[in-house]
Amino acid sequence: MSGEETDKVTPLRPKRPCPECGRPSARETYPFCSTRCKQVDLNRWLSGSYAIPVRDDEEDDGEEPSQ
């Protein structure tokens, strides 16, 4: 019997490399490898497409919340 079990390979989830450093992602911080990389990406996201204006410097002079 040439019993190579290559036929019974269980379909594992394709591991996504960490978008930040390219390391294998961890389950807890998927798709990142660590909390740190997750934070890095989060910060980038926040400061990029979703910039939050600083409320302290905000002047209530007819502000128009633009997207």
CA distance 28 to 31: 9
Residues in region 29-58 near Zn ion by CB under 5 A: 33, 37
Residue count of the chain, please give it.
67
Total of chain residues touching Zn ion, rule CB under 5 A = 6
Contact between residue 15 and residue 23 where contact means Cβ atoms under 8 Å apart: no
Which pair of tokens denotes residue 63? 């502000």
Among 15, 17, 21, 35, binds Zn ion (CB under 5 A): 21
List interacting residues with Zn ion (CB under 5 A): 18, 20-21, 23, 33, 37
Binding-site residues for Zn(2+), in ranges, read: 18, 21, 33, 37
